[in-house]
């Protein structure tokens, strides 16, 4: 009984490592194919459109709302200490350090990651990837690489946009509705938000998240069982794994950056 | 048969291949002569598609060797394989068109990927290939708007776009009406002879296949059970050849996927399912 359980656990463990290995090999092939992006630059641009630009709406709308909620919550807390002038700092630091990268990465996983997996998985299921291989075109370079790099490129921009609109949302609620001083909102923000410690660290986070989410999405699609059920499972896995990876990675990165 | 090395474009030796515990090929030898049309026939599920994928290097055999144009496919590096594949075209069973491009771009795809031809030249080539399969007028349709038979003809145009040395057709005739079937049969032969290609044809249509094939291999149960010219097979004493050429239900070729006896299966009531 115990032996069987152990055996089962061992098998699962092996499977996890095997998939990790395959994912790493795929990643190295994608990175090794970066030069093939040059003659296919239009594909890369096209993917930035479908991965990045099309995610813009959900990012902007969520950013505004998150910023507005931060403004409201921050004000209610700060006003007890008579510190509502600092609302700009609270809103912007929360966004730039944490919520911007994390929430936009989660939204990105749901919007763009799942679409990437489904698209690549379906191409596999309908033998389009096989056909490319037989035409001596490497699908890793032709299909996967442009999507991966487009994701990598778009994610930090999306996070930055998210934070920027969030700050505006906080401004709208704090200054516009609750009567915080206009000048104080901006000047305190300017004084307290550090470029390297806060903004750059946020950017580093969003790059890391973009990397992980697109890597998972592209791998799950490429590794999907080539049936409709397999593709649907792969899509679910992309969303679940990349959300967990983002949150876990966020903790690690935060501990490293702001830990001491 | 002359055993001149240069005369044989695909040479398969002692090939064995399994899927899980199921043995698909068991030590088979196949030679495909340069410039010929060779048909691979056999019951559904014997591994004809698998054989084409092995020749194309998409699958690796468990044992044995496959040579294409004098070079070993088995064990070639990815880069070598891609070089070899530029010399072969393959028509997939379901077409496998790229669904995000229209018919024109699909046929242009290999040309754009592998040549630096100017767009005007590509246009001429694409229209020529589409004209050959009778679908020049359908060039702005998306793959989703094509019927199965049309999709396969577009795939054929794409497979011949680069004028490869050898084309592998996986069941090109299924889903074709009698007219386009006749055209296709002639087209395959004409393309083969006028461009000096070699064609490997997987098909179930005995009449069509024997009409254009120089040589036929009959596969069953992981073995080559008969081979020869169409006439030769028709007159052959081999039971396999007789059953297949005449489409008889009884004979050495099994209709059923390997299974335990039907009676045992019914009586067991599902016990011991999925060991
Ligand atoms: N991906 C796969 N995994 C496991 N088994 C497979 C796979 N693909 C095919 N097979 C098995 O391999 C055998 C040969 O399949 P293949 O597609 O080569 O047959 P075929 O001769 O082309 O049949 P058909 O004439 O119906 O197209 C089948 O019995 C099938 O069960
Ligand atoms: Mg088949």
Tell me what the mean pLDDT of segment A157-174 comes to: 94
Q: Please tell me the distance from the alpha carbon of residue A156 to that of residue A167, in angstroms, as a whole number.
A: 17
| CB spacing of B109 vs A135 below 8 angstroms | yes
- Binning chain B into helix, strand and coil, the percentages to the nearest 5 are 40, 25, 40
For chain A, give the mean pLDDT: 92
- Label the pairing between strands B71-72 and B63-68: antiparallel
Of B56, B78, B113, the CB nearest to A134: B56
Q: Over 90: is that where the pLDDT of A66 sits? A: yes
Please choose, from the candidates A174, A199, A190, the residue with its C-alpha nearest in 3D space to the C-alpha of residue A85.
Answer: A174
Hey, are the CB atoms on A133 and B90 less than 8 Å from each other? no
Greatest Cα pair distance, chain B, in angstroms, is 69
pLDDT digits (tens, 9 = 90+) for A84-136: 888 999 999 999 999 999 999 999 999 999 999 999 999 999 999 999 999 98
Token readout for A125 is 């299921």
**Which atom of ligand 1 is closest in space to residue B47's alpha carbon?**
18
DSSP secondary structure letters along B136-180: GGGTT--GGGS-HHHHHHHHHHHHTTT--SEEEEESSSTT--HHH
The answer for residues whose C-beta is within 8 angstroms of residue B74's C-beta and 6 or more apart is: B57, B60, B61, B64, B65, B66
Positive or negative torsion for Cα A28, A34, A35, A39? positive
B99 vs A contacts (CB less than 8 Å): 123, 126, 128
Does position B272 have pLDDT exceeding 70, yes or no? no
Angle at A28 between CA A45 and CA A108, to 5 degrees: 45
**Percent of residues in chain A assigned helix, strand, coil, to nearest 5:** 90, 0, 10
Q: H-type helices in A33-83, by residue range?
A: 41-47, 56-78
What count of other Cβ atoms lies within 10 Å of the Cβ of residue B41?
A: 25
Q: Report the separation in Å between the CA atom of B18 and the middle of ligand 1, taken as the mean of its atom positions.
A: 11
pTM summary value: 0.87
> What is the pLDDT confidence band of residue B46, given thresholds at 50, 70 and 90?
confident
Q: What is the mean pLDDT of residues B40-67?
A: 89
Inter-chain touch A134–B88, beta carbons under 8 Å: yes
Q: Is B222 in the pocket of ligand 1 (CB under 6 A)?
A: no
Give the residue among B217, B222, B213 at the shortest CA–CA distance from B254: B222
Helix (H) or strand (E) holding B79, with range, is helix B78-85
B48 Cα: distance to centroid of ligand 1 (angstroms): 8
B94 ligand 1 Cβ < 6 A:
no
Distance from CA of A161 to the nearest CA of B (A): 30
Q: Which is higher by pLDDT, A215 or A33?
A: A215
Distance in Å, CA A204 to ligand 2 centroid: 49
Nearest chain A residue to B168 by CA distance is A134
Instruction: Say whether residue A28 is in contact with chain B using an 8 A CB cutoff.
Output: no
Q: What is the mean pLDDT of residues B99-113?
A: 92
B47 in contact with ligand 1, CB cutoff 6 A = yes
For residue B19 and ligand 1, the question of a CB distance below 6 A is answered with yes
Strands (E), chain B: 8-19, 22-33, 37-41, 63-68, 71-72, 88-91, 166-170, 198-202, 215-220, 223-228
Size of interface A-B (CB pairs under 8 A): 54
Cβ atoms of residues A127 and B94 within 8 Å: yes
* CA B11–ligand 1 middle distance (angstroms): 22
Q: Which of A128, A134, A137 is opposite residue B113, by nearest beta carbon? A: A137
Question: Residue B252's pLDDT band (boundaries 50, 70, 90)?
Answer: low
Rounded to whole angstroms, the Cα distance separating B223 from B149 reads: 31
Specify the pLDDT at position A111: 93
Report the complex ipTM.
0.82
- Report how far residue A33's alpha carbon sits from residue A38's, in angstroms, rounded to the nearest whole number: 10
For residue A164, the tally of other CB atoms under 10 A from its CB is 17
On whether any CB of chain B is under 8 Å from the CB of A76, the answer is: no
Strands of B22-33's sheet in order across: B22-33, B8-19, B63-68, B71-72
Q: Which of A153, A145, A148, A152 is nearest to A36 (CA)?
A: A145
Residue with structure tokens 């776009």? B161
Write down the pLDDT at residue A34.
87
- Look at residue B2 in the predicted model and tell me its pLDDT: 43
Closest C-alpha among A130, A129, A36, A105 to residue A246: A105
Residue nearest to atom 14 of ligand 1 (CA): B47
Interval B157-190: pLDDT, tens: 898 888 889 999 998 888 778 887 887 888 888 8
């Amino acid at each position: 009984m115990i032996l069987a359980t152990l055996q089962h656990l061992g098998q699962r463990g092996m499977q996890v490592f095997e998939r990790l290995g395959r994912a790493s090999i795929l990643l190295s092939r994608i990175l090794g194919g970066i030069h093939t992006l040059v003659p296919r630059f239009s594909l890369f641009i096209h993917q930035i459109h479908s991965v990045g630009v099309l995610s813009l709406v959900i990012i902007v709308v969520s950013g505004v709302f998150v910023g507005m909620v931060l403004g409201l919550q921050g004000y209610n807390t700060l006003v007890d200490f008579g510190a509502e002038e600092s609302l700009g700092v609270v809103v912007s630091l929360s966004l730039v350090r944490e919520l911007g990268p994390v929430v936009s990465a989660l939204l990105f996983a749901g919007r763009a990651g799942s679409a990437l997996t489904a698209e690549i998985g379906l191409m596999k299921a309908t033998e389009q990837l096989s056909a490319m291989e037989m035409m001596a075109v490497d699908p890793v370079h032709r299909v996967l690489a442009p999507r991966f790099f487009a994701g990598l490129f778009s994610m930090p921009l999306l996070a930055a946009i998210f934070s920027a609109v969030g700050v505006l949302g906080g401004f709208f609620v704090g200054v516009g509705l609750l009567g915080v001083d206009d000048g104080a909102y901006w000047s305190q923000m300017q004084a307290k938000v550090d470029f390297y410690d806060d903004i750059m660290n946020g950017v580093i986070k969003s790059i890391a998240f973009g990397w992980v989410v697109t890597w998972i999405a592209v791998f799950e699609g490429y590794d999907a069982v080539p049936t409709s059920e397999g593709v649907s499972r792969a899509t679910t896995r992309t969303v679940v794994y990349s959300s967990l990876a983002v949150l876990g990675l966020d903790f690690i990165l935060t501990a490293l950056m702001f830990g001491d | 048969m002359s055993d001149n090395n240069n005369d044989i474009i695909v040479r398969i030796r002692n090939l064995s291949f399994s899927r899980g515990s199921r043995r698909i090929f068991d030590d088979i030898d196949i030679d495909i002569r340069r410039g010929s049309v060779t048909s691979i026939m056999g019951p559904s599920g014997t591994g004809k598609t698998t054989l084409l994928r092995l020749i194309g290097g998409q699958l690796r055999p468990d044992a044995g060797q496959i040579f294409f144009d004098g070079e070993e496919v088995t064990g070639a590096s990815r880069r070598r394989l891609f070089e070899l594949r530029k010399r072969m075209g393959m028509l997939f069973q379901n077409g496998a068109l790229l669904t995000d491009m229209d018919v024109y771009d699909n046929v242009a795809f290999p040309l754009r990927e592998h040549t630096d031809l100017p767009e005007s030249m590509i246009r001429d080539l694409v229209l020529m290939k589409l004209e050959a399969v009778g679908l020049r007028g359908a060039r702005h349709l998306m793959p989703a708007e094509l019927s199965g038979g049309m999709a396969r003809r577009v795939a054929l145009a794409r497979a011949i776009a680069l004028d490869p040395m050898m084309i592998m057709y996986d069941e090109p005739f299924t889903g074709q009406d009698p007219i386009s079937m006749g055209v296709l049969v002639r087209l395959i032969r004409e393309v083969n002879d006028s461009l000096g290609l070699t064609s490997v044809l997987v098909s179930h249509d005995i009449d069509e296949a024997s009409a254009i094939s120089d040589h036929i291999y009959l596969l069953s149960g992981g073995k080559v059970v008969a081979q020869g010219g169409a006439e030769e097979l028709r007159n052959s004493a081999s039971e396999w050849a007789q059953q297949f050429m005449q489409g008889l239900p009884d004979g050495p070729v099994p209709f059923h996927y390997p299974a335990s006896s039907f009676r045992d299966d019914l009586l067991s009531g599902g016990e011991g399912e999925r060991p």
